[in-house]
Structure formats: C-alpha cells, structure tokens
Amino acid sequence: MLLRHSLLLVLALAMRNGNSGPLKEIKKAPHLKEDLKKKHDPETLEELLNEDYALVEGDLLLGNNRNVVGKRWPTPSIPYDISSEIGGRTNDIMAAMAMVSEHTCMSFHRKNSSESDYLFFRIGHGCASFVGYRGGKQEVFLAPECSVGNIAHEILHTLGFQHEHTRLDREKYITVLKENIISGKPFCHRLWR
C-alpha cells in the first residue's frame, strides 16, 4: 500500500511540473490532418505515429499488440542511454530518474554493451513513451519543452503505469467532476477498453 501511495505521489509530482494538456486524440497516423501535424505541444508526438501505433491520452504510445501494455521489466535495475542530440538534457533526465527511484524499488544505470533491452532518450516533437516493457531499444521522446516532471511521467509509463483517471475500474476509486474538465478536453477522461 505504501508503494502504491509513493508511486501516486511521484506521478502527481510529475504532473505538477508538466503541461499535461494533450492534443486531440489520434487513432492512426494516416488520419492526421495537416494542421494537427503542425501544432506543437509538449505532450504530443507525431513522428512515431503510423499504422502500427496509436497515440492516446496525449502521451501514451500503444502498438497494435496490446499484450505489451503493462508488461514488467525483467529486473528492477533498468539500463538507459541518451542520444547525443539531447545530451544537454542529461541533468534533467537524471533528475527525473532520481524522482522515480527515490519512491520506488526501481533504479537506472547507463547501458553497457551487453545489454540489449534499455530505455533510449531521444529528441521528439513532444513528450511520449510506450507503456510497459517492450524489449530492445525502447525510445522515450522528449521535446525541448519537456520538464523534469514530464520526463518522470514518461519514465513511469515505461514502467507500465497508465493514467489512473482512465482505468476501467476508476469509478471504485475516484469521482470525475465533469464540471471541472477543461472545455474541449472530455476525451482526456474517457475510459479505455
């Protein structure tokens, strides 16, 4: 129970420090409108969208194979690498990993040459990541606008965390006050099946 509360605290801190307003939900890349592609938001990612992936809730990348959603990493020590193109963000990435490690049993270490499953932080047009362990080089996309909180939020997604307010069983645990939902953003509170 303490672990759950700690993880929720980390997620809340991550959300506090970041812009969590996603763009309009996108199911498949071929249906993207040209004007939507030109919009810039720290929690969107267009370059990865194609027929194999969907962007939901603004920052969750889901593949056609839904079996990977929520899959656990094989060990609590997760290797990572940082693209040279965002090397200037190393301190932010390290701070985000420290936020997650401080409140969980997970830790992070620089990838060594024998490790083939790892997180790879790279430049993106937004903050986004896949949910859960996928194996191989697992990319975490970071735009220049992504704060330390945004980065921690995306790391939590790579650990298998999804947004609590869209869980199918959310009604048992939370009350969504519809009058408090930002106009034009009701999809952010849709239940995902």
Average pLDDT score over residue span 45-57: 47
Q: Whole-prediction pTM value? A: 0.64
Give catalytic status of residue 46 as yes or no. no
Question: Is 163 labelled as part of a ligand binding site?
Answer: yes
Instruction: Decide if pLDDT at 18 tops 70.
Output: no
Where b means 16+ CB within 10 Å and e means fewer, 69-94 reads beeebeeeebbbebeeebeebeebbe
Among the listed residues 154, 164, 171, 179, the single catalytic one is 154
Instruction: Decide if pLDDT at 120 tops 70.
Output: yes
Question: Is 40 labelled as part of a ligand binding site?
Answer: no
CATH number of 2-162: 2.60.120, 1.10.3470, 1.10.1240, 3.40.390? 3.40.390
- Cα torsion for 68, 173, 44, 91, to the nearest 10°? -90
Q: Give the residue carrying structure tokens 């693209």.
A: 83
Residue range(s) occupied by CATH 3.40.390 in the chain:
2-162
Residues 6+ apart with CB under 8 A from 179: none
Rounded CA separation 133/69 (Å): 8
Q: What is the pLDDT of residues 151-179, one digit of tens each?
A: 999 999 899 887 777 677 878 888 878 78
Q: Which of 22-31, 33-42, 163-172 reaches the highest mean pLDDT?
A: 163-172
Distance between start and end Cα atoms, the chain: 26
- Give strand pairing partners of 80: 110, 119
Question: Is 125 labelled as part of a ligand binding site?
Answer: no
Rounded CA separation 137/118 (Å): 5
User: When comparing pLDDT for 139 and 66, which is higher?
Assistant: 139
Rounded CA separation 57/25 (Å): 7
